[in-house]
Structure 1
Amino acid sequence: MTVRSLITRVESFPVAPRWLFVRIETDDGLVGWGEASLEGYADVVRAAVDQFSAYLVGRDPGPIEDHWQVLTKSQFYRGGAVLASAVSGIDQALWDLKGRRLGVPVHDLLGGPVRDRIRAYGWVGGDDPAEVADHISAQIETGLTAVKMNASGRMNLNGSVAELDGVVSRVASAREVLGPDRDVAVDLHGRFTVATARRLAPMLEPLHPFFIEEPVVPENTHMIGRVADATSIPIAAGERLYSRQEFLPALQAGVSIVQPDLSHAGGISEVRRIASLAETFDALLAPHCPLGPLALAACLQIAFATPNHLIQEQSIGIHYNAGAEVLDYVVDKAPLAFENGCFPLLTGPGLGIEIDEKAVREASARWERWQNPVWRHADGSMAEW
């Protein structure tokens, strides 16, 4: 194997609002960026990136697949959100490096684009959705043709009549604003039991949601088929699944749309394999991405080269982004600007965006740890967030 360059430094930068960026530099001055954001665990993932750097420094960045295999499988204990997120950020940065060295976008290295634009959707309503109609109107003004909303806030274990009616009412309000030519997806966020999700789904069918997302928590993936069998609405899941092996039972159970996160599920290398696995089940890819610009750019590179890609989540203006916005860390905002509700083809080398390194380093120096809220039921027991 001919060594063209060597990795000299691997750095990671936790930045507002809740992201972790990875920077890999080679001895000839080339730099690649990736995103290893694991919301609420940035400092833990940063330690994992640092441990992986001991292996990477001094090696050729070129054999990405071999690095992925070593980082994910060479140690006796493997897998899980933290290690998978660390590998994801490193993997993205290595693909970014390779594309920059060759002067081509990553999607060219994955076989070339199969489309020239990527449809996107935006979030509305926040954690506990209210006033969704106004939020949707604002998203429509940006040109988006699809939105996603949380079905509910804190949800009682068995779902009261009032809670279920409230979900239907909010989705109906969204449908009224969107009309028949735009789409609304409904995220159950793992807040529902299987039984309650089975009760709710048929109630939503007349409103034609684009999909129902994460009807049960990921540890209950083996039961998701009971929800899929109860409704004609497509079921989406996967933001908290981290490998092909974890997606397999979801696909076998009837999930129609897989949602791996490029910053959690092994980066570009593993998500392209998850997409291929999904294709064998006639399922579509819609990557999870309420994250930063690097995660979004990595998602788009996959999307342009993946035949069964459906739509792309993005977090520009999302309610989580307190203290910084997606485009605050890029030099040129144009590559990630919407055109008629879509992202245009990324043509720049690597991930196709240029990171403002000075802004990243300054933001990292001001880092304050982010944690999601802890919710409780009326009886004091913990509630799913």
Structure 2
Amino acid sequence: MTRWRGLRSDDRPSSLPAESTIVKIKAIRSFPVRIGDRNQLLVKVETDAGLHGWGESGLATRERAVMGVIEHYEKFLIGQDVFAIGALWQEMYRSQYFEGGRVLTAAISAIDIALYDIKGKALGVPVYELLGGRHRHHVPTFASLKGSTLDMVLERGRAVRDAGWTCIRLLVDVGAPGARFEPWEAVARYAEWLPRLRQELGIGVCLGIDLHHRLTVAETAALCQRMPAGTLDFVEEPIRDEDPASYAALRRLTSVPFAVGEEFSSKWQFIPYIEQRLTEYARVDVCNVGGFTEAMKVAGWCEAHYIDLMPHNPLGPICIAASVHLAAAVPNFAWLECRETPGEEYRRYDSGIFRSRPQLEGTLYPVPNTPGLGIDIDEEALAQAGEFQFVEMPHLKRDDGSHTNW
């Protein structure tokens, strides 16, 4: 059987033998590097035909754990058919007794994304064509802002609005690592700030707040109830996700829409939140949930329940590119997280490593027409990237000395 029988000989990728049958995985390489202000774990899948693809893992601050899983997977993936993406996903997921979990699916995600990149390059089409084709020509984004004072928040909110963003998310500011966090202080602060921010931005802006699962059911309900109706259009990750019943209890206490799912590592974790109507926006993370293979299944399930995707996208250009292709290929889409907005002092991509990557145009990411993900990496520059650093998220404490959620 010829893998390229659907292509004319002059359309066949020049890097492949004319009569190639099965292109096989040759190696899987992990690149834990420091780019700009953060670590990134880039993953390269190489083939015996000379093609390669890039993926990225999303399990920030636990990159070494993901690398260990990738090393295990490489042992049985070498020599396998690079086009058998769905079957390889199943083999990776089901090849251990302990199923799933964020470390495993973060590794699967990076490999799965890289395999789609290879297949798109081999066939000469963008990844979204492999997912059913594009639904849109550009991907709208939402902006994030934070500040330690109300004046700072209002100033940055105006800047983001004036730059063209119509969906804006306020991030809870916890200050420097090791900072204290008292939930009821945060409830009082943001119950006062958000109505002022709404007044400043006007009713034409979709306004949300990311609580980063730092509150309880009672604290979140109090925050929502203390504000005038119509202040918030969504509240993101207000409480931990382990217990869907707690989200059901919170739903009974507030009518503000929820945006949930950036921590989910499989379609199974999404089940109760979709089936029980516990979220209005699915914060699916293609670099954690299991790559394109799993993300498309979540998207279809959400579509059947009138839930839009609002993908989590906090990493580097590979994650952005993968998220753009996912956003292009699904009908039920709201906004993509964008961390290149005014007031966000990120310098992640200015290293010369990424020779081509998605470029924000105004508030939109254009949907590319280049084969694969559309990512081109200078591996010599990558070899000179900053050394990986063991980094911890802030370990927050309350005044009584107890630990609380980051």
Ranges in structure 2 where 5+ consecutive residues have no aligned partner? 3-20, 175-179
1:292 CA drift (Å): 0.9
User: How many residues are aligned here?
Assistant: 378
Measured in 1, the distance between the counterparts of 2:270 and 2:227 equals: 26
Measured in 2, the distance between the counterparts of 1:371 and 1:317 equals: 24
CA RMSD after TM alignment: 2.3
1:232 CA drift (Å): 2.4
- The residue aligned with 1:4 is 22
Once the two structures are superposed, residues 160-187 of structure 1 have per-residue CA deviations (whole angstroms, 9 ceiling, x without a partner) of: 3x53231122223432342222222211
Identity of aligned residues (%): 31
Report the 3-state secondary structure (helix = DSSP H, G, I; strand = E; otherwise coil) of the residue aligned with 2:155: helix
Measured in 1, the distance between the counterparts of 2:351 and 2:370 equals: 16
Q: Does 1:65 align with 2:86?
A: yes
Measured in 2, the distance between the counterparts of 1:225 and 1:253 equals: 8
1:207 CA drift (Å): 4.4
| Deviation larger for 346-355 or 112-121 | 346-355
Once the two structures are superposed, residues 21-57 of structure 1 have per-residue CA deviations (whole angstroms, 9 ceiling, x without a partner) of: 1101111211100001311101111111111111111
1:204 CA drift (Å): 3.7
Counterpart amino acid of 1:139? V
- The residue aligned with 1:169 is 192
- The residue aligned with 2:17 is none
Counterpart amino acid of 1:33? W
Q: Does 1:344 align with 2:366?
A: yes
Q: Does 1:262 align with 2:286?
A: yes
Larger Rg: 1 or 2?
A: 2
- The residue aligned with 2:378 is 356
- The residue aligned with 2:303 is 279
Confirm or deny: 8 A CA contact 1:285 1:308 kept in the other structure: yes
Q: 1:373 to 1:66 in 2, by over 3 A?
A: same
- The residue aligned with 1:294 is 318
- 1:205-220 equivalences in 2 (<5 Å): 206-220=229-243
Q: Which residue of 367, 374, 383 corresponds with 2:395?
A: 374
1:6 CA drift (Å): 1.5
Measured in 2, the distance between the counterparts of 1:94 and 1:311 equals: 25
Ranges in structure 1 where 5+ consecutive residues have no aligned partner? none
Once the two structures are superposed, residues 78-121 of structure 1 have per-residue CA deviations (whole angstroms, 9 ceiling, x without a partner) of: 21111110000000000000001111111111111111111101
Confirm or deny: 8 A CA contact 1:172 1:207 kept in the other structure: no
- The residue aligned with 1:14 is 32
TM-score by length of 1: 0.91
- 1:30-179 equivalences in 2 (<5 Å): 30-125=51-146, 131-140=152-161, 142-151=163-172, 153=174, 155-156=181-182, 159-160=183-184, 162-179=185-202
Counterpart amino acid of 2:168? V
Confirm or deny: 8 A CA contact 1:286 1:312 kept in the other structure: yes
1:344 CA drift (Å): 1.3
1:147 CA drift (Å): 2.0
Measured in 1, the distance between the counterparts of 2:404 and 2:342 equals: 23
Point out the structure with the larger helix share: 1
| Deviation larger for 224-233 or 274-283 | 224-233
TM-score by length of 2: 0.87
